[in-house]
Amino acid sequence: MQNVFLGDYVGYGADPEWTVKTVMDLVEKGAMAVRGNHDNAVGNQREQLNVEAQVVMEWTRGELGSTERRFLEELPLVLKDSDRLYVHADASNPKSWRYVTSVEDAARSIIATSAHVTLCGHVHRQALYTMSATGKLTSFTPIAGSAIQLLPGRRWLAVLGSVGQPRDGNPAASYATLDTKRRELTYCRVPYDVEEAAARIRNKRLPTWLADRLLLGK
Amino acid sequence: MVKPWLDVGAIIDGFRLEECLHQGGMATLWRVSSAGTTMPMLMKIPKLAEGEDPAAIVSFEMEQMILPRLSGIHVSKFVAAGDFEVQPYIVMERIPGNTLLRRLPELPLPYAEVVEIGLKIAEALDDLHRQDVIHLDVKPSNIMFRPTGEAVLVDFGLSHHDRMPDLMQEEFRVPFGTAPYISPEQLLGIRNDPRSDLFALGVLLYFFSTGVRPFGESETMGGMRRRLWRDPVPPRRLRPDYPGWLQEVVLRCLEAEPSWRYPTAAQLAFELSHPDQVKLTKRSERLERDPLRTVLRRRFNKDLTKSVIRPATAIQISSAPIVAAAVDLTEGSTELNDALRITAERILATLPSARLACLNVLKLGRIAIDYTLDEQGHNKRIDRLVALRHWAEPLKLETHRLTAHVLEAVDPANAILEFARANHIDHIVIGARKNSLLRNLLGSVSAKVAAEALCTVTVVRAARAGEAGQS
């Protein structure tokens, strides 16, 4: 089994040090990880973030040691593994952090690479896009727990949602599992102690909206 | 690359091509064998050459996604699938025999046989819909029968799976289906209503019982769209001896508005297996089509040609369950029966499409000869039917939502279990008697039903009045 992390380890939560150390530890043991826009903002003051995220970012920079900061700065923007491509946002220009929220966005990302499957995050809602051999796009809102066969004759872009801050009205963490042998993608939702995560955000005097939205899933 | 041609003896991924069974527009079907497999197998190879219909590719992809997810006796068991880059194919269980298409020269068939075929297909559709799949191309050439009698649905190339991307929908944006059978809502681009399959089954039943297709064979969009506002000629006009109840069922399946049809395939199957309990509305008596005035009003009613958002298949099915209430009619059961009625009422209250089947078991002796008449010469069965309807009367259910059944059996629990299984009952409500000598001697019927039923069972007890102080 291979763990892959699609970025934004820091930026909204109250435990950036623990999170980055955990990812570092897993990468050392063979996991793959790419850089997200919030990770990028740690060492890059010019990265554009919304007002709340700016506040958290200032605090986060004071929480992370130099090893963790260097780890985030050095993470690749894109990783390829066989016919799969891992990226935080739109793969056609990873540095511009464009969201994939429509079939047009998905088409731009898919045609820019040769990957059979692109897995990304950035948008905090799960979605699946597919392009047929004739270039037609289909979008689909996945249902957690139902395996979908990623047919080899077409190309796929899977937005996996967000572990720490889903925005589809369901606070349960979003991720997905990919069975590469059977080409089966299963979107997953798993409940966790959201109250505690929200309490920790409030205790650090970070913007309360960030705590509230965790509970609402928006 | 796709191989240019395939011949007998060719081996693809360990499957040997034995015999070409069918050359269709979209695919070729081969009988195949494989070392170590005794199950008869069929390989479907799509026609993907240049210039072929792109729909062939997409429908093959849909089948490749859906078939491995299906299970049960009403579908061919999935065996293997081949990669697109090398040689696309699907290998599945081969069902012996022919499709229903072979029966066309014999039409019209006897009514009893049409009803039997309809019931089997409705049961297969119920099973499919419960797996979140809508077939969307129900027609004689897509229906086969196992040697044991069950209908098997084949070809999921146009199907919709609620939990998977609908490649057909996005790819073409024009309706796909088979002209005589396609439902009005499919013509409007709706692909997620399970009742579309009930419409197609209605067309099949009409055709098989009259020899005439209810909406003709026109394949033009305009010709097909007529079914949105033009009702078919009532079957009784074509065959004067056409049973009223069957016309009721067939015309209800053919309603242009999906919500005027049966809510689920299970409810259609229930009607087909209980002809004497079908509520005969105006539909059953009709001899003429609707007058031109009515047709014109429908023709220019924009609401009819507007698509409405459909809830998921699973939600549609679960909102229209068949509930069975096992009612004990022996004396001294009043309290328990009241409690049973209250429970049934609560279950039905939130589900306007649910229906209630009231059951009573007429116990037969193991050895003694039974008389259907009691000492006073009353027919016991009819007495009990009357009593069942009387029990259900306070529920004030519309006639079509209520049926009464007296089962004759040696073992009441087995009779209830068998009825539930055969009629696809979703929920059994049954009373448990207080400890009594009879119960100690016979064992508890409700306990056995609760333990062995395949569906949800609610065991109801009479109010606990008078038990205060006991612990």
Q: What DSSP assignment string belongs to A52-121?
A: HHHHHHHHHHTTS-HHHHHHHHHS-SEEEETTEEEESS-TTSGGG-----SHHHHHHHHHTS--SEEEE-
pTM: 0.86
**Angle at CA of residue B336, ends B335 and B340, nearest 5°:** 120
Cα B267–Cα B306–Cα B262 angle in degrees, nearest 5: 5
Total residues found in chain A within this entry: 218
Q: Which amino acid is at B449?
A: V
Within this chain, do residues B367 and B307 fall inside the same structural domain, yes or no? Answer: no
Question: What's the total number of domains in chain A?
Answer: 1
What is the mean predicted confidence (pLDDT) over A2-31?
96
Nearest alpha carbon to residue A7 among A179, A214, A164? A164
* Domain count across chain B: 3
The values of phi and psi at residue B33, to 5°, are -130, 160
Contacts of B84 in chain A (CB under 8 A): 151-153
- Asked if the Cβ–Cβ distance from B83 to A149 is below 8 Å, we say no
- Tell me: do B366 and B389 sit in the same domain: yes
* pLDDT at residue B55, rounded to an integer: 76
pLDDT given for residue B165 in this prediction: 92
Query: Is B366 inside any structural domain?
Result: yes
Q: Are residues B312 and B174 in the same domain?
A: yes
The CATH number given to whatever domain includes residue B42 is 3.30.200.20
B292, B317, B342 — which closes off a domain?
A: B317
pLDDT at A135: 85
Q: Do B64 and A139 touch (CB under 8 A)?
A: no
How far is A91 from B64, CA to CA, in rounded Å? 28
| Residues B365 and B403 placed together within one structural domain of the fold | yes
Q: Is B216 on the interface with A (CB under 8 A)?
A: no
Cβ-defined contacts of B301-304 (< 8 Å, 24+)? B301/B229, B304/B228, B304/B229, B304/B256, B304/B257
Interface test with B, best of A83, A114, A117, A138 (most B CBs within 10 A): A138
Give the per-residue pLDDT at B87. 83
Q: Which residues of B touch A132 (CB under 8 A)?
A: 54, 57-58, 61, 167, 171
Residues of chain A positioned with their CB less than 8 A from the CB of B54: 132, 134
**Alpha-carbon distance values, B471 to A111, A129, B150, B339 (Å):** 73, 62, 52, 22
State the Cα–Cα distance between residues B195 and B303, nearest whole angstrom: 18
In this complex, do B61 and A134 lie within 8 Å of one another by their Cβ atoms? Answer: no
Cβ–Cβ gap B167/A134 under 8 Å: no
Q: Which domain holds residue B43?
A: 11-93
CA B176, B178, B182, B187 dihedral sign is: positive
Helix axes B334-349, B380-392, angle to 10 degrees: 60
Q: Which helix H or strand E contains A216, and what residues bound it? A: helix A208-216
Report how far residue B142's alpha carbon sits from residue B137's, in angstroms, rounded to the nearest whole number: 8
Better-scored residue on pLDDT, B121 or B320:
B121
Domain match, B355 and B441 both:
yes
Q: Classify residue B2: in a domain, yes or no.
A: no
Nearest by CB to residue B65, choosing from A134, A137, A151, is A151
Are B62 and B202 in the same domain?
no
Is the residue at B4 inside a domain?
A: no
- In the DSSP assignment, the letter for residue A133 is T
User: In this structure, are B310 and B334 located in the same domain?
Assistant: no
CA B221/CA B360 separation, integer angstroms: 51
Mean pLDDT of chain B: 88
* Cα B218 to Cα B180, B224, B366, B404, distances in angstroms: 7, 6, 60, 43
Q: Which of B298, B317, B336 is the last residue of a domain?
A: B317
- Report pLDDT digits (tens) over B34-47: 998 899 999 999 87
Alpha-carbon gap: B164 to the closest alpha carbon of chain A (Å): 6
Taking each helix axis from N to C terminus, what angle separates B195-210 and B111-129, rounded to the nearest 10 degrees?
170
Residue B422: which of B431, B435, B409 has the closest Cα? B409
Q: Which two tokens stand for residue B289?
A: 């089509």
For residue B69, the chain A residue with the least C-alpha distance is A147
Which residue range is the domain that position A206 belongs to? 4-216
Please give, rounded to a whole number of angstroms, the shortest distance from the CA of B68 to a CA of chain A: 10
Q: How close, in Å, is residue A30 to chain B by CA atoms?
A: 30
What is the separation of C-alpha B154 from the centre of its chain, rounded to a whole number of angstroms?
15
Tell me the chain A residues in contact with residue B86 when contact means C-beta distances shorter than 8 Å.
none
Rg (CA), chain B: 25
**Which residues in chain B are closer than 8 Å to A139, comparing Cβ atoms?**
165, 170
Q: Are B242 and B214 part of one and the same domain? A: yes
Q: Tens digits of per-residue pLDDT, B133-182?
A: 999 999 999 999 999 999 999 999 999 999 999 988 766 666 788 999 99
Residue in B57, B83, B164 closest to A152 by CB? B83
Of A55-59, A67-71, B308-312, the poorest mean pLDDT is in: B308-312
Q: How confident is the model at residue B365 (pLDDT cuts 50, 70, 90)?
A: confident
Q: Which residue of A lies nearest to B164 if distances are taken between CA atoms? A: A148
> Residue B447: inside a domain, yes or no?
yes
Which of the residue ranges A168-182, B115-129, B255-269, B452-466 would you say has the lowest mean pLDDT? B452-466
Does the beta-carbon distance from A151 to B84 stay under 8 Å?
yes
A12-30 average pLDDT score:
96
Asked if B394 reaches chain A (Cβ–Cβ under 8 Å), the answer is: no
Which of B67, B93, B119 is a domain's end point?
B93
Record: contact A152-B57, CB cut-off 8 A: no
| Residue with more model confidence, B219 or A5 | A5
- Amino acid type, A199: A
The reply to whether B195 and B291 lie within a common domain is yes
Encoded amino acid at A140, one letter: F
When pLDDT is averaged across residues A31-56 and rounded to a whole number, the result is: 92
pLDDT tens for A80-137 read 999 999 999 999 999 999 999 999 999 999 999 999 999 999 999 999 999 988 888 9
Q: Which of B84, B85, B167 sits opposite A138 (nearest CB)?
A: B167
For residues A27 and A33, what is the distance between their CA atoms, to the nearest angstrom? 7
- Could you tell me the end-to-end alpha-carbon distance of chain B, in angstroms, rounded to an integer? 78
Q: Does the beta-carbon distance from A138 to B171 stay under 8 Å? A: yes
Nearest to B322 by CA among B455, B425, B456, B453: B425
B165–A138 C-beta distance less than 8 A: yes
Nearest-CA distance B85 → chain A (Å) = 7
Cα B447 → chain centroid: 29
Dihedral over alpha carbons A20, A23, A25, A26 (to 10 degrees) = 180
Q: What is the side-by-side order of every strand in the sheet holding B322-326?
A: B402-409, B355-363, B322-326, B427-431, B456-460
Q: pLDDT at position B470, please?
A: 43
The secondary structure of chain B, three-state, reads CCCCCCCCCCEECCEEEEEEEEECCCEEEEEEECCCCCCCEEEEEECCCCCCCHHHHHHHHHHHHHHHHCCCCCECCEEEEECCCCCCEEEEECCCCCCHHHHHHHCCCCHHHHHHHHHHHHHHHHHHHCCCEECCCCCHHHEEECCCCCEEECCCCCCEECCCCCHHHHHHCCCCCCCCCCCHHHHCCCCCCCHHHHHHHHHHHHHHHHCCCCCCCCCCHHHHHHHHCCCCCCHHHHCCCCCHHHHHHHHHHCCCCHHHCCCCHHHHHHHHHCHHHCCCCHHHHCCCCCCHHHHHHHHCCHHHHCCCCCCCHHHHHHCCCEEEEECCCCCCCHHHHHHHHHHHHHHHHCCCCCEEEEEEEEECCCCCCCCCECCCCCEHHHHHHHHHHHHHHHHCCCHHHEEEEEEEECCHHHHHHHHHHHCCCCEEEEECCCCCHHHHHHCCHHHHHHHHCCCEEEEECCCCCCCCCCC
Note whether B145 and B154 are within 8 A (CB). no
CB contact under 8 A, B84 and A134: no
Contact at 8 Å (CB) between A6 and A121? yes
Residues B74 and B128 in one domain: no
Mean pLDDT of B419-440: 83
Nearest CA in chain B to A135: B171
B466 found inside a domain: no
Residues B80 and B108 in one domain: no
Q: Of A137, A143, A151, which has the smallest distance from its Cβ to B170's Cβ? A: A137
Nearest Cα of chain B lies from the Cα of A142 at a distance, in angstroms, of 7
Q: What is the CATH number of the domain that holds B340?
A: 3.40.50.620
Mean local confidence (pLDDT), B188-195: 91
**Which residues of A are less than 8 Å from B48 in CB distance?**
none
- CB distance A138–B54 less than 8 Å? no
Residue B321 pLDDT exceeds 70: yes
Let me know whether B52 and B142 are in one domain: no
CATH for B279: 1.10.510.10
Q: Residue A21's domain is classified under what CATH number?
A: 3.60.21.10
% of residues, chain B, pLDDT over 90:
60
- Measured CB to CB, residues of chain A less than 8 Å from chain B are 103, 128, 130, 132-134, 136-140, 143, 146-149, 151-154
Task: Tell me the shortest Cα–Cα distance from A88 to chain B, in angstroms.
Answer: 23
